Amino acid sequence: MFDALDPLLHSQLRLAVMSLLMNFEFADFTYLKEKTGATAGNLSVQIDKLEKAGYLDIEKTYKGKRPLTRCHITKSGINAFETYVKALNSYLKPDSPS
Amino acid sequence: MKTEESIQIIEEMIATARKDVGGDGYLYLSWGYLVLVSGIMHYLLLMITTFSMPWLPWPILMSLGGINQFIYIYRQEKNRKRSVSAVERMLGYLWGAVFICLILVLGMVGYKEFIVEQNSQLAYVLVLVLYGIGTFVSGGVLQFKPLIFGGIASWVIALVAYQVSFDLQLLLLSLAIVVSYILPGHLLIAKQRQPHV
């Protein structure tokens, strides 16, 4: 039986952001923008959605006069990502126990 | 979005992140070459001159290395190094610890042997052992075999160095630096420049 895929993660950009953040303690908005190739506007909307779901913490500060937005993945974000990957596996290997 | 696409995105982002995680080939190389030049200069000053402080290239070039590292990190900071991983933090602490131990070893054993006794048996052997720890652990954390082998090579060379005279120790130190720092440093840079899958 297939596990349900978290609709919040089952989107290209949000999944890319979460996959990146799984590797880092934090990443800046500009880093995420560069690595995902997203526009600033779209990325901003998507990380807001992830933050509202409790998957990310967003920290807005200033470095000198420049605004600095840092994203950290939360515990519930890590759990959601792992559950998503498990669900993906159940699609790829439908016979294996999930 | 198809499940295959999801997997492809996850794999691509992990590959991208891995390229950015730790393992700065430039720093390995700059320190490697500075230590190599210091070792060879020390050897040459010792063997072909009567200069009373043949070890002088060490404090001079190591200070230059420290300044170079400071400027490099400051520039990275200025360019807003934009992500930090647990691996990078761990490597920072590891090399910080190795560096402090090197200063302690050279400060205590080195002072006694180079300045007081004018002859050294143990100082460079300990330096090699400490380098070995740094490169071996870095290689393990980064899953980069040339650094792991480089670390082991440093320890083997340390064993040999303990048995030979001080002038030969200097040449062995230079050999260890080529094997454990310079070669892996070049390979690491080459790996980082490869386009990710």
Residue B123 lies in a domain: yes
Q: How confident is the model at residue A95 (pLDDT cuts 50, 70, 90)?
A: low
pLDDT in tens, chain B (197 residues): 788 888 889 888 888 777 666 556 677 788 889 989 998 998 999 889 888 888 889 889 988 988 988 888 777 766 655 777 788 788 889 988 998 998 888 888 877 776 677 667 788 899 899 989 999 999 998 888 998 999 999 999 999 999 998 888 889 989 998 988 888 888 887 876 665 44
Q: Residue B144 is part of which domain span? A: 25-193
Reported as half-sphere exposure (CB side, CA atoms, 13 A), residue B136 has a value of 14
Residue B14 lies in a domain: no
B chain contacts of residue A26, beta-carbon cutoff 8 Å: 83-84
Domain boundaries, chain A: 12-89
Residue B30 lies in a domain: yes
Amino acid present at A89: N
Yes or no, beta carbons of A88 and B16 under 8 Å apart: no
Residue B1 lies in a domain: no
Yes or no, beta carbons of B6 and A10 under 8 Å apart: yes
Residues in chain B whose beta carbon is closer than 8 A to a beta carbon of chain A? 1, 3, 5-7, 9-10, 12-14, 16-18, 21, 80, 82-86, 89
Residue B181 lies in a domain: yes
Residue B76 lies in a domain: yes
Contact yes or no for B137/B94 (Cβ under 8 A): yes
Query: CATH number for the A12-89 domain, one of 3.40.50.920, 2.30.30.30, 1.10.10.10, 1.25.60.10?
Result: 1.10.10.10
Residue B42 lies in a domain: yes
> What pLDDT is stored for residue B118 in this prediction?
65
Contact yes or no for B13/A16 (Cβ under 8 A): yes
> What pLDDT is stored for residue B23 in this prediction?
54
Contact yes or no for A60/A1 (Cβ under 8 A): no
Residue B63 CB burial class (10 angstroms; 0-12, 13-18, ≥19)? exposed
Number of domains in chain B: 1
The answer to whether residue A93 neighbours chain B at the CB level (below 8 Å) is no
